[in-house]
């Protein structure tokens, strides 16, 4: 853990805000993420996730800055930072790198090299969006190939101090690998879920290279960034073919992580609250209304959330949830 000299003054404040895509961002914004199939150029300080919003169209995810921001480039990486945090993004066309494995390895090697030279060296949370994630059988499945490239690009520096992460598939036949991330001047506390095997220890049957991520990272005080969470207990998929039960299992998994995190930080609410940001990914658009009902029942009235049409990394998983849980 960091000494107090390195503790950030504030956790990054993240919100979902309804905003026209062409409206400019204030100087108090570190980075923003928009969602949709729009093809127009992406303005600076932004990423666009090419998944269709089934609920929450027009919401953008705003990462507020903790102080003055500055922006730059490092090879294929673009970044902005404030005194405490850094937002980075890289997008590679797999076809220029001879396929998924090498594209992922090169992207992650670039990220690790950049981060090791950065004033904000600690990677906290990463999002990965790739084309046709479930294409290919067995170990040739593109998600597994991505995991191999990512693991090789990560190298051995992180040991088990992995960031929280998400990996979701688009269906746009672009061959575009998109990674964006949040890093900090100070490290966060990685957390594992008592109900789930650590992903980086998954058995061989799920692929030759385990997915290198932590179930959550905790940024005291008052912020928990939870990885994409699916209907997995131990290492096994639960409730194949039943989206309602998969969703209930996900809520149990998230609840378990919240209770685990509250042992370290009692300021975190025990249940979903106004500081909870949920991003749901559904494989089938026809499941969105079921997810809507479940989320509106659990979130305080009026809390914005997103349901995106996206493919989960095991073909038997129908739904996955990203969750950022903040106090206050
Ligand atoms: C799982 O728990 C479901 O490869 O970065 C969730 C979050 C999942 C992140 C990743 C994968 C990733 O294994 C899949």
Q: Tell which residue, 193, 257, 217, 215, has the closest CA to residue 124.
A: 217
Ligand 1 centroid to residue 166 C-alpha, Å? 6
Output the CA torsion sign for 274, 268, 60, 174.
negative
Strand 276-282 versus strand 306-309 pairing type: parallel
Q: Which two tokens stand for residue 72?
A: 């730059």
**What's the 232 CA to ligand 1 centre distance in angstroms?**
10
Q: Considering only CA atoms, which of 285, 313, 283, 50 is closest in space to residue 168?
A: 313
Q: What pLDDT is attached to residue 1?
A: 39
* 134-143 contacts at long range (C-beta below 8 A, 24 or more positions apart): 134/169, 134/311, 134/313, 134/314, 134/315, 139/207, 139/208, 141/207, 141/315, 142/100, 142/169, 143/167, 143/169, 143/207, 143/313, 143/314
Q: Distance between CA 315 and CA 318 in Å, rounded? A: 8
pLDDT of amino acid 4: 41
pLDDT of residue 5: 42
Q: Assess whether pLDDT exceeds 60 at residue 10.
A: yes
Best residue for ligand 1 mutational test, from 130, 151, 158, 228 (most atoms within 8 Å of Cβ): 228
Q: Is 253 in the pocket of ligand 1 (CB under 6 A)?
A: no
What pLDDT, on the 0 to 100 scale, is given for residue 258?
98
Please state the rounded mean pLDDT for residues 156-172: 89
Instruction: Provide the pLDDT for residue 286.
Output: 98
106 lines ligand 1 (CB under 6 A): no
pLDDT at 42 over 60: yes
Res. 159 pLDDT band, cuts 50 70 90: low
Q: Is 227 in the pocket of ligand 1 (CB under 6 A)?
A: yes
Distance from Cα 51 to the centre of ligand 1, integer Å: 17
For 255-306, what is each residue's pLDDT tens digit?
999 999 999 999 999 999 999 999 999 999 999 999 999 999 999 999 999 9
Q: What is the mean pLDDT of the chain?
A: 95
210-264 tens-digit pLDDT: 999 999 999 978 999 999 999 999 999 999 999 999 999 999 999 999 999 999 9
DSSP states of 92-130 as a string? EEGGGGTSHHHHHHHHHHHHHHHHHHSSS-EEEEEEEEE
pLDDT at 125 exceeding the cut of 90: yes
Q: What tokens appear for 11 in the block?
A: 């956790």
State if residue 313 touches ligand 1 by the CB under 6 angstroms criterion: yes
CA of 28 to the centre of ligand 1 (A): 31
Least confident residue range of 24-28, 31-35, 46-50: 24-28
Instruction: Specify burial of residue 89 (Cβ count, 10 A radius: 0-12, 13-18, 19+).
Output: buried
Distance from Cα 309 to the centre of ligand 1, integer Å: 17
Is residue 104 within 6 Å of ligand 1 at its C-beta? no
CA–chain centroid gap for 233, Å, is 20
Q: Which atom of ligand 1 is nearest to the CA of 128?
A: 5
| 315: DSSP letter | T
Q: What secondary structure does DSSP assign to 190-250, as a single string?
A: EE--TTB--GGG--GGG-SS----BSEEEETTTEEEEEEE-SEEBTEE-STT-HHHHHHHH
Q: Which of 257, 265, 311 is nearest to 285 (CA)?
A: 311
Which atom in ligand 1 lies closest to the alpha carbon of residue 206? Answer: 13
Cα gap 21→98, rounded to integer Å: 34
* Ligand 1 site, residue 307, Cβ cutoff 6 A: no
Q: Which atom of ligand 1 is nearest to the CA of 196?
A: 2
> Which domains does the chain carry?
14-326 (3.30.1330.40)
Mean pLDDT across 193-209: 98
The mean pLDDT value for 192-197 works out to 98
102 Cβ contact partners less than 8 Å away, ≥ 6 residues apart: 149
In whole angstroms, how far apart are CA 294 and each of 177, 221, 271, 278, 309?
31, 28, 14, 12, 17
């Amino acid at each position: 853990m960091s000494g107090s000299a390195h503790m950030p003054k504030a956790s990054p404040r993240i919100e979902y805000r309804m905003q026209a895509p062409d409206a400019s961002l204030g100087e108090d914004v570190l980075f923003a993420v928009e969602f949709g199939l729009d093809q127009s150029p992406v303005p600076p300080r932004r990423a666009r996730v090419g998944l269709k919003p089934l609920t929450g169209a027009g919401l953008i995810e705003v990462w507020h800055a903790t102080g003055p921001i500055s922006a730059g480039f490092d090879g294929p990486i673009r970044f902005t930072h404030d005194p405490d945090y850094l937002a980075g993004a890289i997008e590679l066309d797999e076809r220029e790198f001879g396929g998924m494995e090498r594209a992922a390895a090169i992207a992650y090697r670039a990220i690790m090299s950049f981060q090791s030279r950065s004033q904000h060296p600690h990677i906290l949370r990463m999002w990965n969006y790739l084309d046709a994630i479930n294409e290919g059988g067995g170990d040739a499945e593109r998600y597994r190939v991505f995991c191999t490239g990512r693991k090789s690009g990560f190298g051995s520096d992180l040991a088990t101090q992995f960031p929280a992460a998400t990996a979701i598939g688009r269906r746009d036949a672009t061959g575009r690998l998109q990674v964006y991330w949040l890093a900090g001047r100070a490290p966060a506390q990685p957390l594992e879920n008592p109900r789930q095997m650590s992903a980086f220890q998954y058995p061989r049957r799920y692929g030759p290279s385990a997915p290198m991520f932590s179930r959550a990272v905790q940024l005291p005080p008052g912020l928990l960034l939870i990885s994409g969470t699916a209907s997995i207990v131990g290492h096994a998929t639960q409730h194949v073919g039943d989206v309602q039960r998969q969703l209930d299992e996900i809520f149990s998994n998230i609840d378990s992580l919240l209770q685990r995190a509250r042992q370290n930080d009692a300021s975190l609410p025990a249940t979903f609250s106004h500081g909870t940001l949920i991003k749901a990914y559904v494989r089938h658009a026809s499941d969105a209304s079921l997810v809507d009902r479940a989320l509106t029942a659990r979130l305080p009235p009026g809390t914005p959330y997103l349901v995106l049409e996206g493919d989960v990394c095991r073909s038997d998983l129908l739904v996955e949830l990203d969750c950022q849980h903040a106090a206050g």
